[in-house]
Structure 1
Amino acid sequence: MINIVVNKDRINKELAYTIFYLLRKIDDDVEISYEEKQGCINIYYGIEAETGIVIPFSENHNELNFSDYKESKFCSFEKIDEPYSVFDQKIKFNFDIIFTSKYFITLQEEYEIQKRDDKERFLCQFSKRNKYINVPFFDINAEILYDAIKIKFPQVKLKEKSPEIMLSHDVDSLNSRDKYVFLHNCKSILMGKNDSLSKRIGIMLRDIIKNVHLQIPNYLEIENSYGVKSEFYFIAGYKHRLGKRYELSKYNDYVKKIHESRNHKIGIHTNYFSYLDEKEMKREIEEIENNTHAKVDSCRNHYLRFKMPETLECLQKAGVKFDSTVGYSDVNGFRAASTDAFIPFNLSANNIVPIYEIPLAVMDGIVMEKNVSFEEKWQEIKVLLDNTIKHNGTASVLWHQRVILDSEYKDMYKKIIEYCLKQGCNFIFTDDLTKRYLEEREKINTLLEKIK
């Protein structure tokens, strides 16, 4: 057993929660106590000791500093070159790895930094980690802690787990000839900057001449050919060019194919206008369930509108069990500094939010709309996939429903699937995570109950 020896005046629920996630991949039980225990691996946090592993306590979080660790980097709020020092009798950490990790996994900076874009979103550019957002610093901290433990206790092993990829499709529109799509294209013509004016006009004319947005059959064909799983997130609720752009009841034949497939699942793409409205979320879920006859408990918010912790609290109260909104709308990377699914912590309420969050590692348009070569786009995506694979994470890839018509989008999507299969990834949907989520929730609650 790993026993974290703490000072009762310094430990709290958010730090205990962080300790659980730092050590969850180690194949041993974890205990938090106020005294060392015989026969255990004792790690002293905020307490001086002559032997074992000692981690200092600090509440400094003014400025992040980045240093090399193995082939990657680690960061801390202290200016240090090495995460820990090895002595004859003990290993002493040079920074508070627990507090720093807590800052990442709880999204603490989003409570403190008030900047938001015009859609009220916290962007990567506002983060203290914005230059290294594709580096999963929380996972690296877990690796550092494990490496330190192994020096003194080589018998400690990691749990066996393969990296997992959740493919997902936000269904923003199903009919390119719909008036709301037309209005959206008009706005793009007037305000768009990424593409030339001629290209924007060309897209609008193409969308008017023929419905090119209904691409569900293409995804089913591709994914079934590889034997992989995915989820489709539909929009309900308020009709608007930024909200619902279709009536799901008109597409029963396509929805039925998703619902009857063992490798596909239906979820909700929460309306742009309801990301802070639990009652409207419930109505939207009911609308989708009534039209699909599917149980809806997984989600991603439209435009990645997300406020910590209010959005998660609303989703949980509306009946959502799984979410994959925690990613950035401007840069692909790891918003909670982790490649792995986790139960979020509400710093305002001082407790967990009983929902399972799957990190959004890759969103198509962020990289595919760049004016660079296909190979350069792939290398940017590959870094994120490789980090997920290296840390045996569970992350989400978002490829919008309508984009697969484009040959480059289609080729990249197939390349992602082929690469992940070759690297030994399991393709999952959220139902596959239920058991793990329930086990983690029980263990975390047991740990937090002991903290006064």
Structure 2
Amino acid sequence: MLLIYTQKVTPRIIYVFKHICTHVLGIPIKFTSKIEEFIAHDGAKLSYGRQALGNEFFIQKVDLLMEQGFSELEIKVQPWDDTIGFFPLPEASDLPFDIFAASFYLLSRYEEYLPHVKDEDGRFPAAESLAYQESFLQKPVVDIWALKFRDILLDRFPNLEFSDRKYKVGTIIESNHTYIFKNKGFLRSFIGLWFDLFKLNLGKVGDRLQVWIRVKNDPLDIFEDLIDLIKEHKIYMLFMFQLSDFSIHDRNISHNRIPHRAVIKSVADYAKVGLLMGYYAMEEVKSLRKEKLRLEEIIHSPIEHAMNSQYNLRLPDQYNNLSELEINNDHSMGYPDNPGFRAGTCTPYLFYDINMEITTPLRVHPYAFHSNVVEKLTKTKLREDIARMLLEVKEVRGTFRAVFSNHDFSDYADNKLHYSLLKQIHEID
């Protein structure tokens, strides 16, 4: 057990020390503000304050974990061995950087609370982030810092117990449109047919007619192929289905359509299923509740996983809505247009609400790769970036998550490339 002394035990200190020490490193910890208790302790101990109390492991704190709310911070990123760090500390500290304050800054998405320029979709763009600007976006620095901290700590306290974790990899399949032609209704199908004819897209016209007369499967119905991969290679996939009301923003088929429900039920027999939130569900808890109940009624089990279909996170409101409805796992933390680690980590973590200064029950599962980048990078660059990030995650024994859509594996996309990337991520021959 590691005893941690700090003059004031704040919610931020509890949050980030528990994440790094307990969740990442598997080191049991206890906090104290009593100097007598700390000095009397003869086991591993760490003080986090202005000055050391004795011969303990000492980290000189910066003010971030003692504050409330948010304000503009001046951050200077500097080299640290083979990685980087920020919030530098004087030589008296046993660590050259306050990795706990830096980790809190990244995990809480502190910078997303500050004024910033949103992209055309209302999202916090990667280019606005410290990680992108300082070229460490593709490194899970929070996990790297944690392991460096563990090694330095073990030099001081070789008998300190910790646990090793295992490297994991998984894929999320998002389905904004379960079908492209099937079950769309007469009016939508008729308009779609004339639109394809007007654009002289005769291939789609032929596909549409064959789907209608049931001599061909709908091109987006690739779920059986992915289930076969799961069965054969025992890989982890999480399927996100959208069950919104039809609108200008959400254009999936009705949740009442029997084939739509059948696909979801079939997938749920072999893989985890979650909710891909529609446009209004991301804004209103009432719409989110309605979509959640629809999916639960189809799969006959509670919904534990959700994802923002537009990735325009409004922190902390959207996460608080999920927590209110007891959806305790979110998979939206990443940049759909840039490979990398948006929160600086490859470890699932509890979300900290800076407005309320509390640790929420919502567990955030960050992803590092989204198939949206396929059209923006060369094949060589794609494979190199994925290989590099996979290696980074393996070295810290973290969790690598990638996001694809069912459209990626259809005939209307470069499905061979997407399958090859999927197999690269899961290391399937």
**TM-score, length of structure 1 as denominator length:** 0.79
Q: Does the C-alpha gap of structure 1 residues 29 and 202 become closer, same or farther in structure 2, counting only changes over 3 Å?
A: farther
Judge conservation of contact 2:274–2:306 (CA < 8 Å) in 1: yes
Q: Deviations over 1:187-219 (max 9, x none)?
A: 9xxxxxxxxxx9x97997687566311111111
Distance 1:126 1:40, change over 3 A: same
Aligned to 1:338: 345
Q: Output one character per residue of 1:302-349: Cα deviation in whole Å (capped at 9) or x when no partner.
A: 021211111110011123121111111221211111110111110111
User: Unaligned stretches of 5+ in structure 1?
Assistant: 188-197, 423-452
**Cα separation, 1, equivalents of 2:164 and 2:361:** 25
User: Do the aligned residues in 1 keep the contact of 2:25 with 2:164 (CA within 8 Å)?
Assistant: no
* Partners of 1:181 and 1:277 in 2: CA distance: 30
Assess if the C-alpha contact under 8 Å between 2:240 and 2:306 holds in 1: yes
The one-letter code of the counterpart of 2:86 is: S
| In structure 2, C-alpha distance between the alignment counterparts of 1:93 and 1:289, rounded to whole Å | 48
The answer on whether the counterparts of 1:64 and 1:128 sit within 8 Å (CA) in structure 2 is no
- Contact 2:87 2:102 (C-alpha < 8 Å) held by counterparts: yes
Out of 164, 179, 182, the position equivalent to 1:175 is 179
1:236 lines up with 2:235 in the alignment = no
Q: Any residues of structure 2 matched to 1:413-424 within 5 Å, and which?
A: 413-418=422-427
The residue matched to 1:129 in structure 2 has which SS? helix
1:401 counterpart letter in structure 2: N
Q: Of 5, 10, 21, which residue of structure 2 is paired with 1:23? A: 21
Name the TM-score, length of structure 2 as normaliser: 0.83
Residue in 1 aligned with 2:308?
301
Q: What whole-Å deviation, never above 9, does each CA across 1:359-398 have from its counterpart, x for those lacking one? A: 11221222x213513x331111122222222222234221
1:54 and 2:66 equivalent?
no
Q: 1:44 aligns with which of 31, 47, 50?
A: 47
Q: Tell me, in whole angstroms, the C-alpha distance in 1 between the residues paired with 2:254 and 2:425.
A: 31
1:96 shift after superposition: 2.3
Instruction: Give yes or no for contact 1:162–1:392 (8 Å, CA) kept in 2.
Output: yes
- How far apart, in 1, do the equivalents of 2:79 and 2:189 lie? 47
SS in 2 for 1:92: coil
| Corresponding residue number in structure 1 for 2:130 | 128
How many matched pairs?
393
Residue 4 of structure 2 is matched in structure 1 by: 4
Taking a change above 3 Å as real, the CA distance of residues 181 and 345 of structure 1, as seen in their structure-2 partners, is farther
Deviation for aligned residue 1:226: 0.7
What is the 5 A alignment of 1:49-448? 49=52, 50-59=54-63, 61-70=73-82, 73-78=83-88, 92-130=94-132, 131-177=135-181, 178=184, 211-240=218-247, 242-248=249-255, 249=257, 250-261=259-270, 264-366=271-373, 368-373=374-379, 375-405=380-410, 406-418=415-427
What is the CA distance between 1:155 and its match in structure 2? 2.5
The CA distance in 1 between the partners of 2:336 and 2:190, in whole Å, is: 23
Q: CA deviation at 1:27?
A: 4.2
Q: Do the aligned partners of residues 28 and 417 (structure 1) sit closer, same or farther apart at CA in structure 2, a change above 3 Å counting?
A: closer
- Which whole-Å CA distance do the structure 1 matches of 2:45 and 2:288 have between them? 46
Letter in 1 for 2:41: Q
> Residue 280 of structure 1: CA displacement?
0.9
Matched-pair identity in %: 16
RMSD, aligned CA: 2.9
Match of 2:68 in 1: none
Larger radius of gyration: 2
Q: Is the CA contact 1:180–1:245 (under 8 Å) kept in the aligned structure 2?
A: no
Q: In 1, distance between residues paired with 2:190 and 2:152?
A: 58
| 1:284 CA displacement | 0.5
